[in-house]
Amino acid sequence: MKALQIEHLSKTYFKRDGPVVSDISLQVEAGKTLALLGESGSGKTTLLRLIAGLEHPDKGAILIGNQVVADTRTFVKPENRKVGLVFQNLALFPHLSIFDNVSFGLRGISRQEKAAKVEEVLTLVNLCGMENRFPHQLSGGQQQRVALARALAPKPEVILLDEPFSNLDSVLKNQVREEIKKILKQASATTIFVTHDTTDALLAADKIALMHHGRILQTGNPVEIYTNPSDENVARFFGKINTLHLHKTESGWHSEAGEHLNLPDKWTEDQLKIIFRPENVNLVKQSECGLAARLVASDYMGDHCLLTVSAGTPKFQPHLLFIKAPANHNYRAGNLVFFQIDFHKAKIILPSSG
């Protein structure tokens, strides 16, 4: 069942060149979490505001459940959309207790029913017994869970989170991210959250929509979008990549890095451009027929090192590649290293013109 459907949605602000959101179509299944990922100005927050009803679309339609909430003839106000919204600054009322903050959006029910709902969601977010405290008496992570409890209390069709982890330090962010992910799964909530952090998207979302200049470049689950990017721009957004131009000659395959063996049989073109991740390059001994390169730099990343090496042959200018290596490697800058590329995990971007 689709909890949210967006069809050819567009939005342009006055005196701005081009649309902020341009012809976006998207679907989110009930109970799933979607990350709207992109750099600043990509349109992700505007898309969230359009879903919430805080902005009017110029074109297209938005359906929540089976109800059209926005199109050329319809516009349902935010309070009638069955949407729970958690703002980046949380927007908790400092003068109200946690009980009153959480129950703020509950209308038309008795005090007893309201108390039961508040207890239910505070138990869900592990804050039961704190209903009489005030926001300033809670930690940042607890305040985050209060804001989430307030959004969950009316049992909305969709929960919208605007940069939910951006105001947290790195240690607290990891803890809060896992807590919120667990809470949303326990609540079977359909969730959309905005983020510019690829780690947040990869760890907290069932599905990622990567946005750039108002458009969606690619949609897929974290594994798909990381391992099978649609183009080079998508690949680079998720970390370091390597590129090579491959040329097939009578003597075999050649690239900027040297001569290659054991390429996939399915690669039938004579010229290709490929991308692959640092973890798709393996360090080997010289005797194992690896390609040679000089170590330029080694960046310590905790559980591994990211090596930058300069590879090439007399026919080509030096070509930089990145290799994921053990943290305790013994190479030093200027050392000769040998490596092999796992071409079966590389992706063809497009035929190369050389």
Instruction: Give the range among 9-18, 31-40, 230-239, 341-350 with minimum mean pLDDT.
Output: 9-18
Helix, coil or strand: residue 200: helix
Instruction: Please give the backbone phi and psi of residue 22, each rounded to the nearest 5 degrees, phi first.
Output: -130, 105
Report the 3 state secondary structure along 8-72: EEEECCCCCCCCCEEEEEEEEECCCEEEEECCCCCCHHHHHHHHHCCCCCCEEEEEECCEEEECC
Contact between 71 and 62 under an 8 Å Cβ cutoff? The reply is: yes
**Residue 205 vs residues 33, 158, 179, 195: alpha-carbon distances, Å:** 5, 14, 13, 11
Contact between 262 and 290 under an 8 Å Cβ cutoff? The reply is: no
Burial group, residue 263, by CB count within 10 angstroms (0-12, 13-18, 19+)? middle
Q: Confidence class of residue 264 from pLDDT cuts 50, 70 and 90?
A: confident
Task: Fill in the amino acid letter for 247.
Answer: H
The Cα–Cα gap between 186 and 268 comes to 48
Report the pLDDT value the prediction gives residue 351, as an integer from 0 to 100.
64
Share of the chain above pLDDT 70, in %: 97
Q: At what angle do helices 140-152 and 111-124 cross, to 10 degrees?
A: 130
Q: Where do the structural domains in the chain lie, given as residue ranges?
A: 2-237, 242-351
Of 58, 61, 8, the C-alpha closest to 215 is 8
* CATH number of this structure's domain 242-351: 2.40.50.140
Contact between 312 and 256 under an 8 Å Cβ cutoff? The reply is: yes
Residue with tokens 């590129």: 243
Residue 352 has pLDDT above 80, yes or no: no
Per-residue tokens: 108: 């038309």
* Intrachain domains 2-237 and 242-351 with the same fold: no
List pLDDT tens digits, range 65-87: 989 999 989 999 999 999 999 98
Report the pLDDT value the prediction gives residue 280, as an integer from 0 to 100.
96
Report the run of H or E that residue 150 belongs to, with start and end. helix 140-152
Residue 200 has pLDDT above 90, yes or no: yes
For range 211-226, the mean pLDDT: 95
List pLDDT tens digits, range 37-50: 999 999 999 999 99
Of 184, 196, 145, the C-alpha closest to 32 is 184
Answer with the residue of higher pLDDT: 280 or 173: 280
The Cα–Cα gap between 228 and 27 comes to 20
Per-residue tokens: 6: 């967006």
Residue 259 has pLDDT above 90, yes or no: no
Q: Kind of pairing, strands 191-195 and 33-37?
A: parallel
Structure letter (DSSP) for residue 280: G
Of 338, 323, 232, the C-alpha closest to 279 is 323
Residues 219, 220, 225, 227, Cα dihedral to 10°:
-150
Architecture of domain 2-237: 3-Layer(aba) Sandwich (3.40)
Produce one character per residue of 294-331: b if its CB has 16 or more CB atoms within 10 Å, e if not.
ebeebeeeeebbbbbbebbbeeeeebbbbbbbeeebeb
The Cα–Cα gap between 104 and 258 comes to 66
CA angle 97, 99, 101 (to 5 degrees): 70
Q: Confidence class of residue 289 from pLDDT cuts 50, 70 and 90?
A: confident
Per-residue tokens: 274: 């490929």
For range 313-341, the mean pLDDT: 88
Sorted by sequence, the CB contacts under 8 Å of residue 128 that are 6+ apart come out as 119, 122
